Amino acid sequence: MPQTITTGWRALVDAANAEVEVLDVDAAAALHGREEVVFVDIRDIRELNRDGRMPGAFHAPRGMLEFWIDPESPYHKPIFAEDKSFVFFCAGGMRSALAAKTAQDMGLKPVKHVSGGFGAWKKAGKPVDLPDPAPGEAVKG
């Protein structure tokens, strides 16, 4: 018998966006670099190595997020216990909506996420650390 999906990804992302504070790129940029704000990049390491990174962002792969947030987990990362605001982002703003909602549901606060993600950040000309090119390869920018 085929599976029947009753709630699709769009509905999940829309529900997350209704519950989590969503920042556009300019609002996120206004917070970037502040000591009391942690930007959390949930993209896969291959995406970071291919597309670049937001300077100063903490990388927390989406698959480990719940384990890194929970202080009872053997994988807990102390940064998530700090009294700071957390701004999540991914490549396009969908995974970060889900991640931010999950973090908020776990009790992390305050939590926000960047609409359009790193792609919108980069397109808007915000600061980016580009990956090192492979030998003999030019940097794409």
Whole-number pLDDT of residue 1: 87
Residue range 14-31: average pLDDT? 98
Q: Is the pTM of this model over 0.85?
A: yes
How many whole angstroms separate alpha carbon 18 and alpha carbon 116? 16
**CATH superfamily entry for domain 20-123:** Rhodanese-like domain (3.40.250.10)
Exposed e or buried b per residue across 17-38, where buried means at least 16 C-beta atoms within 10 angstroms of its C-beta: beebebbebeebbebbeeeebb
Q: What share of the chain is helix, strand, coil (3-state, %, to 5)?
A: 40, 15, 45
Over residues 117-138, the pLDDT tens digits come to: 999 999 999 999 998 776 665 5
Measure the N-to-C terminal CA separation of the chain; round to a whole number of Å.
47
In this structure, are residues 28 and 96 in contact, taking their beta carbons and an 8 Å threshold? no
